[in-house]
Amino acid sequence: MQQPAAGRARIDIVQRFAVKQQSVRGQFVRLGPAWLALREHGDYPEPVRRMLGEAVTAAVLLASTLKFQGELTLQLQGDGAVRLLVAQCTNDFRIRAVARFDRERVEASLRDTAALTDPFAVLAGAGTLVVTVEADRLASRYQGVVPISGGSLAASLEHYFETSEQLPTAVVLGADDFGTAGLLVQRMPDHGGIVTASVDTAKQTFAAARAAIGGVQRDELLARPPEDLMRRVFNGLDVRVHESHLVGFRCRCSRERVSGMLRSLGLEEVRSIIAEQQSVTVTCEFCHRPWRFDPVDALQLFGAPVDQVPGSTTLN
């Protein structure tokens, strides 16, 4: 197996930073081991892996711009070879992701050399980027939808921030087999406080950062020390890291969640599965863990008497 190049992430981290005394802030994400753990759970062709890596990195960037308790979902739905991609990040930066794709169409798009520089546009096709934030305890849910645009996930994300939150935003994303990285810079509304530089200064800083981000190559994003990237993007301005958090792969599937799903299927449907397969097994799409319910367990979810299990014998 190929070895990762020097300088690649050995930890998974998201950092929030701000330009000192200016209303310009951002987030930087780099994933190594968590990305390796995540992609072990699916057999994806290279360009789909890359898209998945960028999407999960984007989900971490989005989550780190918000204050919430729960789960953020970034979903891409399109008419390309990858028809659905779901990447999730919790408020404590636990990630998981899955893609549904048409293998033949992916291979066909690879044969098209024009698609090789950034296969995103071909793989995603025309469709939407949906961001959903679900709070754990309150029954609250926020959802923002924008069209997939600009030929990349980074451009679609910029469009999302500019239309949903009215925040000028520059994003660069990258992923390969060994790691992923993302950098997001935003110009915030100026509320005074610690911000002493003028709005015009912040506008100039943001415009220069956006231009510099446009020139960052994927290999640099994935491997260069974050301080070097910051120096380049902010042209030597004083950038302070405010918070760092570890990110990890963790699937949120549980017996309780699967039980809820089976209850929503209904007793009749579950009975017919048992009649056919003698038990009910639900395999998690994200981590492929099989959750098995024998007939007794499955029927008890509905409070159904166990002696109604098809094919079972009742002891007297």
Contact flag: residue 287 with Zn ion (CB under 5 A): yes
CB atoms within 10 A of CB 299: 23
Residue of 94, 96, 97, 67 whose CA lies nearest to 243: 67
**C-alpha–C-alpha distance, residues 200 and 208, integer Å:** 12
Nearest distance in Å: CB 129, Zn ion: 24
Nearest distance in Å: CB 70, Zn ion: 17
DSSP assignment string, 195-246: --S-HHHHHHHHHHHHHHHHT--HHHHHHS-HHHHHHHHTTT--EEEEEEEE
Contact flag: residue 251 with Zn ion (CB under 5 A): yes
Task: Report the SS3 class of residue 128.
Answer: strand
Alpha carbon of 172 to those of 52, 61, 142, 221, 227: distances in Å?
15, 11, 25, 8, 16
Nearest distance in Å: CB 289, Zn ion: 5
Nearest distance in Å: CB 240, Zn ion: 37
For Zn ion, the closer of residues 103 and 252 by Cβ is 252
Nearest distance in Å: CB 87, Zn ion: 14
Contact flag: residue 282 with Zn ion (CB under 5 A): no
Nearest distance in Å: CB 253, Zn ion: 3
- 125-133, 167-175, 263-271, 279-287 -> range binding Zn ion (CB under 5 A): 279-287
Residue 165, C-beta contacts closer than 8 angstroms, at least 6 positions apart: none
CB atoms within 10 A of CB 154: 26
Calculate ∠ Cα 286-263-313, nearest 5°.
Answer: 110
- 17-25, 107-115, 120-128, 245-253 -> range binding Zn ion (CB under 5 A): 245-253
Answer for which of 286, 293, 295, 299 binds Zn ion (CB under 5 A) is 286
Is residue 109 a contact partner of residue 119, using CB atoms and an 8 Å limit?
yes
Residue of 110, 26, 89 whose CA lies nearest to 252: 89
- 25-33, 153-161, 164-172, 285-293 -> range binding Zn ion (CB under 5 A): 285-293
For Zn ion, the closer of residues 101 and 286 by Cβ is 286
- 63-71, 81-89, 252-260, 304-312 -> range binding Zn ion (CB under 5 A): 252-260
Alpha carbon of 221 to those of 48, 58, 172, 179, 217: distances in Å?
19, 14, 8, 10, 6
Contact flag: residue 249 with Zn ion (CB under 5 A): no
- 138-146, 158-166, 182-190, 251-259 -> range binding Zn ion (CB under 5 A): 251-259
Answer for which of 98, 284, 298, 299 binds Zn ion (CB under 5 A) is 284
For Zn ion, the closer of residues 153 and 287 by Cβ is 287
DSSP code for 300: H
For Zn ion, the closer of residues 251 and 280 by Cβ is 251
Nearest distance in Å: CB 220, Zn ion: 34
Q: What is the binding site for Zn ion (CB under 5 A)? A: 251, 253, 284, 286-287, 289
